[in-house]
Structure 1
Amino acid sequence: MERVHALFDALWQDYTTRLCPSAAKVHTLLEEGTPLLNDHIALRTFALPKVGLDRLAAPFIAMGYEPKGEYHFEGKKLYAHHYEHPNPEAPKVFISELLVGQCSTELQTAVRGLVDQVDDDAMKDPSFLYSGRPWSLDSKTYEMLAAESEYAGWLAAHGFGANHFTVSVNQLSTLDEVKAVNDLLRQSGFAINESGGEVKGDPQVCLEQSSTMADKVSVNFSDGERDIPGGFYEFAKRYPLADGNLYQGFVEASADKIFESTDK
């Protein structure tokens, strides 16, 4: 587990420094004397051989993670897998990829041009997972990508890193409902993602989720600096299945709306 902890510590450091600085404040608000349990992180990529989902999954699989559920988001042209470690204390990992081949010729050409800049050897070191953007990008290309696919624009601008960490609400003692977490955060000035309702899912699907809206962060483009949506913080409450064990998967309809936390 030492390698797992080290990787997640590095991912957290990058996430709170570069993508979601407000996460540290949320963390402090919710911490009740014991460290918060991270339910899962999410990573984004393009479905192209050099950087596809399998490349991002490889470092986790090398540490004992196993593929579990798979998910399709047809409207957003995304495919995803989630991975679990045999040690239940280890966070789950949710990796999605944009099905580039289903997008416009203009988007495909731009994205392939970005991915062509990636050093294949760099992708063999797990540190690429929190290394940021391995390509040069101008703001005009970013705008073009984001206009067709918010996901493509976000990924092109930020590169590799956790777009969110997730507080396990099950572990909190004073706040035992996702709605109560939302209320506390609102009182502290945080905006909550209302797409599909502020709480996505319900006990019937064994999972409830909510999230903050993404921080606005400064990104350096080749033609100047811009403030754009970065990362967000998610909150998840899991319910027991018929066998008494907590549900460990994800709900497509809910995850689809969580993606919108980074919308402009």
Structure 2
Amino acid sequence: MATANTPLDFVLNGLMERYRERVPHVKAITSAMVEEGIIADAADIENDHIAFRTMGVPQLGIQSFEKIFLHYGYTKRDAYHFTEKKLNAFWYAPPEPHYPRIFVSELRVNDLSAEAQKIIRSYTDEVVSDPVDSLNLNDGQAVDKFLHSALWRTPTLEDYKTLSAESEYAAWVIYNRYYLNHFTISVHNLPKGYNNVAQFNSFLEQHGFPLNDSGGKIKQSPDGGLLQSATVAGKVEATFSGGEKTMIPGSYVEFAERRVLPEFAHLPKEAVKREHRREGFEAGNADKIFESTYSTQTEREQ
């Protein structure tokens, strides 16, 4: 990651530092890439995007969270809707090409059962005003601390399990809050033999990393321009209210291949830049990648 010269650099570095600590796959994949000679060190990895999950309730959700990155010069782009999972999302384009895109989703809490809504609001109602409004967004350290601080009290294991039975997304957020959900390795700029998702998936599986197979291990946009895959989230030990402990899904690593747009197909490889490749996201791909933290995927590791 870049040196923390600006508040945005400080925030991104802080997010990635804690994410690497909590997600063993990050260091393991990076180490395997170095050993294979794909990269010289972690700094050679291009971060396609990072993603966050939120609760769609007053004072929180996308409308609150996005203020942080809009302040840092990000531009709000396309909206996405996930009917079955009851989610909305937007992506945000960075102020400069070397920064990652940002993908923020929120749970449509009002679409859940009365019981699930009651549980969620028993926690989120503790947030009585938009917490971002009281942050000094020019203080990177303060923002970094906020993104890794509790928004509400620690949930009970019983509430977590009740939510999980209806919405595994809801359960993930009630415990993890704004914890970084995933970062994404851009594979298209890697050396030949590893620079598409199919090849990179083979490399990952040879090294024993379990891949999300919901909808197939490769998720491809209808236009063929965006291909994605992801690891299955590893389990982390969670301590719930009252001291109860259990293993729950943590975060995961994603991989993206953005193909060169047809109108730029004539460009030599060394001339291809980010703006020449397929931009944005694809709801069909994202819908399946969300499941990297779902039991249908995480229980396959057991």
Change (3 A) 1:133 1:214: farther
**Does the aligned pair in 2 maintain the 1:39–1:168 contact within 8 Å?**
yes
Tell me the TM-score normalized by structure 2. 0.82
For the pair 1:234 / 2:254, whether they are aligned, the reply is: yes
Q: Letter of the aligned partner of 2:115 in structure 1? A: E
For the pair 1:164 / 2:169, whether they are aligned, the reply is: no
Find the counterpart in structure 2 of residue 26 from structure 1: 29
**Does the aligned pair in 2 maintain the 1:67–1:82 contact within 8 Å?**
yes
Displacement of 1:55: 1.2
Between the aligned partners of 1:121 and 1:72, the Cα distance in structure 2 is 24
Between the aligned partners of 2:174 and 2:221, the Cα distance in structure 1 is 33
Find the counterpart in structure 2 of residue 94 from structure 1: 103
Indicate the larger mover: 84-93 or 194-203.
Answer: 194-203
Find the counterpart in structure 1 of residue 299 from structure 2: none
For the pair 1:250 / 2:250, whether they are aligned, the reply is: no
Between the aligned partners of 1:219 and 1:99, the Cα distance in structure 2 is 25
- Whichever structure has more strand as a proportion of its residues is 1
Q: Letter of the aligned partner of 1:6 in structure 2? A: F
Which of 164, 167, 173 matches 1:155?
173
Between the aligned partners of 2:221 and 2:108, the Cα distance in structure 1 is 29
Change (3 A) 1:104 1:193: same
Find the counterpart in structure 1 of residue 67 from structure 2: 58
Q: Letter of the aligned partner of 1:25 in structure 2? A: A
Alignment of 1:35-50 (within 5 A): 35-50=44-59
Indicate the larger mover: 29-38 or 219-228.
Answer: 29-38
Find the counterpart in structure 2 of residue 220 from structure 1: 239
Displacement of 1:66: 0.5
Find the counterpart in structure 1 of residue 216 from structure 2: 197
Q: How many residues are matched?
A: 263
Indicate the larger mover: 170-179 or 224-233.
Answer: 170-179
Between the aligned partners of 1:86 and 1:17, the Cα distance in structure 2 is 27
Tell me the TM-score normalized by structure 1. 0.94
Between the aligned partners of 2:123 and 2:219, the Cα distance in structure 1 is 34
Q: Deviations over 1:135-172 (max 9, x none)?
A: 22010100000100010011112111111000001121
Displacement of 1:21: 2.5
Change (3 A) 1:121 1:150: closer
Between the aligned partners of 2:183 and 2:279, the Cα distance in structure 1 is 16
Indicate the larger mover: 128-137 or 5-14.
Answer: 128-137
**Does the aligned pair in 1 maintain the 2:60–2:130 contact within 8 Å?**
no
Q: Letter of the aligned partner of 1:26 in structure 2? A: I
Displacement of 1:81: 0.2
Change (3 A) 1:22 1:144: same
Cα RMSD after superposing both structures: 1.8
Unaligned residue ranges in structure 2 (runs of 5+): 136-142, 265-275, 296-302
Which has the larger Rg?
Answer: 2
